[in-house]
Amino acid sequence: MSAVEEERAVCVGDRLGATDTYAAGEGVFVRDGFVIASVVGFQRLEAPPAAGEKPTIHVASRDTLPLVPKPGDIVTVKISRVAQTAAHALIMCVGRQALSTEFKGVIRQQDVRSTEIDRVVIYDCFRPGDIVRAEVVSLGDARSYYLSTAKNELGVVYARSATAGVAMVPTSWVTMQCPETQAVEKRKVAKLESLVTA
């Protein structure tokens, strides 16, 4: 086998190295003891995480690793539609990285919070247009990922008021207030470190 070269353009099906020398990263798969590219792109070698382990091969197009939400990721979503039993959202970022394509997610009534889950009123937690921090629970069904906001640090991070359309200020974990009209609206607010005082 020829030695693996850095930044080489590879095609789907190209053999990149043997599994006893290299570990498989993103954009590759393992078959018959070889690491083989599964996407078209540039091959990149990552140094081994600890001494004595194998370096990892990744294949990525256009300088970024292909990013797809996985269960356990913290994602930033924008609520698109609110129904009686669920809130539908578009996943815009995974962690700190923005996605180039939007994925659909849904926050079901039982995943909004961890207490009294059968008495949740979705309209008092989310409204269309809110930016929400959520966690991916599972790959969900054919249409959307299943998301959850059932932790203190998950929930609405940015919302505009219904009447004035200005960004609201959180006043408690269940309410936000509009600075112009002083109207109070209910939301499931995220407990971000910047908001907790002392």
Interacting residues toward another protein by CB under 8 A: 82-84, 122-123, 127-128, 162-163
According to DSSP, residue 41 is labeled: E
Question: Smallest distance, Å, CB 92 to another protein?
Answer: 19
Burial label, 62 (beta-carbon count in 10 A; 0-12, 13-18, 19+): exposed
CB of 169 to another protein, least distance (A): 20
User: At which residue do the structure tokens 């002392």 appear?
Assistant: 198
Cβ at position 148, least distance to another protein in Å? 21
Q: Which is nearer to another protein, 94 or 159 (CB)?
A: 159
Given the complex with another protein, which of 88 and 113 has the nearer CB atom?
88
Q: Is the CB of 38 or the CB of 80 nearer to another protein? A: 80
How far is CA 103 from its chain centroid?
A: 9
CB of 160 to another protein, least distance (A): 12
Ramachandran region of residue 109, left (φ > 0), alpha (ψ -120 to 50) or beta?
alpha
